[in-house]
Amino acid sequence: MGMELDKSTRKPYVRPVKANWWTNKGFYIAYMLREGTCIPVLLFVLELLWLYGCIAVGAASGDLGGIQKLLFAQKVIQHPVTILFNILVLVATLYHAFTWFNLMPKAQRVIIKNKLLDGKYFVIALYALTILVTIFGAVCFFTDFLWIFLK
């Protein structure tokens, strides 16, 4: 009988990886921090969904239970821990945006007429777009917000 060709008798080398591999270099720490910003953002989205649910139930039902849900939601969002958490989410999101925008020229290369476009144009365009969308969102929010009170 010959040797089976589909089985290897050698064990493959598996390099050991420690759980704290990312603490060895500053680049890895920044990478893990940027990727870790998804956790507070997820919790913030769950907070918003809960608040929308409270508002929907409170507005849909004209009874005392719905009004109590609205008042409870108001107390929760005015609590200092919630305000501190929302500030933390804002900082995490700004950190993520800042690091991603500065990384973008390395991730996306554009060649126009056989010349590589300078990466600073990407960064400037991303910041400009972010500022424009923020202004647009603020205008939409505050005009809706004012419209409610001007009725």
pLDDT in tens, the chain (151 residues): 555 666 777 888 888 988 888 888 888 898 899 999 999 999 999 999 998 888 887 767 767 777 788 888 889 989 999 999 999 999 999 999 998 898 888 888 888 888 888 888 888 989 999 999 999 888 887 777 666 666 6
pLDDT of residue 64: 72
Looking at the DSSP bridge assignments, the partners of residue 116 are 111
Query: Of the candidates 105, 101, 109, 100, which has an alpha carbon nearest to the alpha carbon of residue 35?
Result: 100
Alpha helices for 1-151 (secondary structure H): 26-36, 38-60, 64-78, 80-107, 119-150
Looking from the CA of 76 toward its CB, the CA atoms found within 13 Å total 13
Whole-angstrom Cα distance, residue 95 to residue 103? 12
Which long-range contacts link 57-60 to residues 24+ away (Cβ below 8 Å)?
A: none
Whole-angstrom Cα distance, residue 79 to residue 73? 10
Residue with token string 């603490």: 23
Whole-angstrom Cα distance, residue 37 to residue 90? 10
pLDDT of residue 146: 64
